[in-house]
Amino acid sequence: MASRNTTTYYIRSDGGDANQCNGRADAAYPGHGTAQACAWKNPSVALPHSGPARIEGGDILRIASGTYPIGEDDYLQPVPSGPSKDAPTRILGKAGAMPKLVGVNGVHRVLNLDGSSNVELGHLEITDRSDCVYKHSNAGAACTDAMPWARVGLYARASNNVWLHDLNIHGMAARGINAGDLSNWTLERVKLNRNGTAGWDGNIEGGGPNSGRMIMRNIEIAWNGCGERVATGEPWACWAQKTGGYGDGLGTTKTGGQWLIEDAYVHHNTSDGLDLRYMDGADATRVTLRRIRAIANAGNQVKVKGNSLIENSVMVGSCSFFRNKFFMTDGDLCRSDGSTLQLVMTGHNTAIVRRNTLSGEGAVQIGHSEGDTSDRIDIRNNLVIGYPRYGDPIRLSAFDGGKSKAAISYSGNMAWKVAACPGDTLCTQDPKLTNMTLGTFDAKPLSGSPANGKAGAVTCGKAAAP
């Protein structure tokens, strides 16, 4: 498909405004003259809130190292859609430099993909300049008009064929990414950490369900539902649903699509880690999770609905981690029975859970619910470590359990210190892992472990932290 020639534009902190520079040279504004061959000083020159954009679909916007406030003249207009998947509009920081886009003045979104398709975003840090959390129930943590905060790092709706890579979105007052009605998105080497209400929130006003391929690789989603101290990067003011917050690492509304999440480190979020509870269950809808390391999320570590494959992952349901910390309440801990993995069926679904290591203090390690007798759950070659239940320490957590009417098959599983052993599960041998203390769990088998080569995730050091 023929397309117009691509133009490359440049952003530098020592650039000029739209009258001073044409944006087409990687050079500073010389200090005099108009329409000079020099860079613009801020992405807002390229994508002003009002008036036409100064770049077109398929152009490249290259941003030099530096800090760029976004929101002094309100938020950026949407990125123009590229003419095709193979000719995207590209907004790229200088590789290795990670220019910082900093939301200020309570701006709703730092980057805007509302209706934007065929786009590439990469090598950028996105944050704000305030410790505050949007609408926090504690006045000492809540944002005020006097603070330099921003609500959302990246907003997207009705957006197709997008590649996000090498992004660090952190410290937003509300959500790192607020995105829905998407199709064919890929995330690689993306961090969503310490955002005040959620890492990825799929609840979009006027947005429909997602579709197509939704791919996430080498991602970290952590400490969402917490504020971030600008000076130190430390989490603080963590809160969740009982006091008006949210706290999912990744959560969607009703969605379809074929989701593939690989090499993900999902930890210390104040509600669920990965919440894919609202998949539509259609025959073509599927979730595949590989090499997930989900630890110390306050609700379920992983939750999926419909057709799914979960393999070679380590899930540690230390769901009471936040007890007596920050603004968390006991009612926010180990929600939904604290199941480490929760499977929700819809009829005619198949869920395969294989070669995983699961441990936790919830009622069950593998929970299942809904659906009917046409569903199938295949649980094989997993290693399950039980602990006393949070809130009921006399009882051990169960290997699995729930109200699903699915036909469940077990083969090759091992378990230790669980309430009961289903099927042919071997429960009489200590699995001898590196560390089986819940708070410092290390799933790597020791020499002589009976699980070696038989059950549990195949570990390669500490997995999935990008």
Domain range annotation of the chain: 208-221+243-466
pLDDT at 4: 67
What is the pLDDT averaged over residues 408-426? 95
pLDDT at 240: 98
Q: Is the model's pLDDT at 55 over the cut of 70?
A: yes
> Between the CA of residue 381 and those of 310, 341, 399, 449, 454, what are the distances in Å?
12, 15, 13, 15, 6
Provide the 3-class DSSP secondary structure of residue 43: helix
What does the angle CA 86 – CA 91 – CA 96 come to, to the nearest 5 degrees? 110
Both tokens assigned to 174: 């509300």
Contacts of 165 (CB under 8 A, 6+ apart): 120, 121, 122, 123, 186, 187, 188, 189, 190
Provide the 3-class DSSP secondary structure of residue 347: coil
Q: How many residues does the chain have?
A: 466
Provide the 3-class DSSP secondary structure of residue 337: helix
C-alpha atoms less than 13 angstroms from C-alpha of 298 in its C-beta half-sphere: 30
For 64-93, how does the pLDDT look when each residue is reduced to its tens digit (9 = 90+)?
999 999 997 778 999 999 999 999 999 999
Question: What pTM does this model have?
Answer: 0.96
pLDDT at 461: 41
As a whole number of angstroms, the distance between CA 141 and CA 147 comes to 11
For 185-213, how does the pLDDT look when each residue is reduced to its tens digit (9 = 90+)?
999 999 999 999 999 999 998 888 999 99
Least confident of 14-23, 66-75, 289-298: 66-75
Share of the chain above pLDDT 90, in %: 93
As a whole number of angstroms, the distance between CA 456 and CA 413 comes to 8
For 347-406, how does the pLDDT look when each residue is reduced to its tens digit (9 = 90+)?
999 999 999 999 999 999 999 999 999 999 999 999 999 999 999 999 999 999 999 999
